[in-house]
A and B are shown apart, each in its own frame.
Chain A
Amino acid sequence: MSIEQGLVSLIQSGIGSLAPGGYAATVPETSQVTAANPKAWTYRTIISTPTYVLEGEDLLTELELQIDCHGYTMDDAILLAKAIKSALRAAAPTGGSPLVLSDPDNTVVQGIFRRAPHLDGYSDANRTYVRTLEYLVTYYDQQ
């Protein structure tokens, strides 16, 4: 759970009090999006691609992550997506130094890249408008 934990903490600290989130897969019953609490975000991992060399599996791993930005209105979803994109852009490693996440493993991230998918829709389960983002995170998987 460590890379996920680190990324949740990173995003949440970047967007501040704009919205609660970092929920796995779906917005929990206790945190439903309403007119009073109009935004929330969830995540799910899609693909984890390890690197292989002749000696075996390398720690360097590419993780593809889906982030669903839920809004009471589409505007809410769009504003939240904008804030998350901005937070991750600001947090991405710069200046030649990797990013060290604040999870218990202090996961070392080499890069955070937004992928092309940028999908708008409606979640019947959560009764929210959703903007879906995808990211590629390159990191050392300590397992």
Chain B
Amino acid sequence: MAGSYTGTKAQSGNQTQVSIGSTPTLVGEVSDFTQSGTQNKSEDATNLESTAEEFIPTILTPGKFAGVMNRISGDAGQQAVRTAFTSVPPAIAAFTVQLPKTSAQTSTGDKYTFNALVEEFNDLGKISPTGIIKTQFSLKISGPITFTAGS
């Protein structure tokens, strides 16, 4: 028999920190950070003798992150993302996503680290008189995403 439900253990994204670099520098004022496309790829192995489609697993595609941040002049983290984007040849940079602690964690929250190419960096986004200038960026992940459980 399943244990009785005592309330949700879900957590909010508030207080999540997105950082860049091997010595992580906080990327300031990120307002949205969305992961997509992380999936295990496969190759179709269906043949004339198959009784249904067949496939063999090949390799994990680590996917992308798309982010939006308030454009902050002089923010060291935002500057580092811009530098990674504009470097010639384009550089792969280290990123860390540090989640806040859950109610069950006392020391640190869960952490994800990965290397990524800054694939897009729309510095000025959309400028309007009544809106905040927001920078949109996207990261193409290279290699595995390393997960470190919080405690």
Contacts and interface: CB of A to CB of B under 8 A. Distances in A.
Interface of A: 51-56, 58, 60, 111, 113, 136, 138
A52 B29 CA distance: 8
B129 A111 contact: yes
B135 to A, nearest CB: 12
19 contacts: A51-B31, A51-B132, A52-B14, A53-B31, A54-B13, A54-B15, A54-B16, A54-B17, A54-B30, A54-B31, A54-B33, A55-B17, A58-B29, A58-B70, A60-B70, A111-B129, A111-B130, A113-B129, A136-B130
Interface in B99-138: 129-130, 132
A126 B28 CA distance: 49
Interface string B30-57: 1101000000000000000000000000
The A contact surface, by secondary structure, is strand
Contacts of B132: 51, 60
Contacts of A136: 130
Contacts of A54: 13-18, 30-31, 33
A117 B16 CA distance: 39
B92 interface: no
Contacts of B13: 54
A111 to B, nearest CB: 6
B70 A51 contact: yes
A56 B70 contact: no
A36 B59 CA distance: 85
Nearest to B97: A54
B93 interface: no
A56 B17 CA distance: 10
B34 to A, nearest CB: 12
B29 A138 contact: no
B81 interface: no
B74 to A, nearest CB: 16
Most interface-central of A54, A56, A58, A138 (chain B CB within 10 A) = A54
A29 B26 CA distance: 55
Contacts of B33: 54
Interface string B1-32: 00000000000011111100000001011110
Nearest to A60: B132
B141 to A, nearest CB: 19
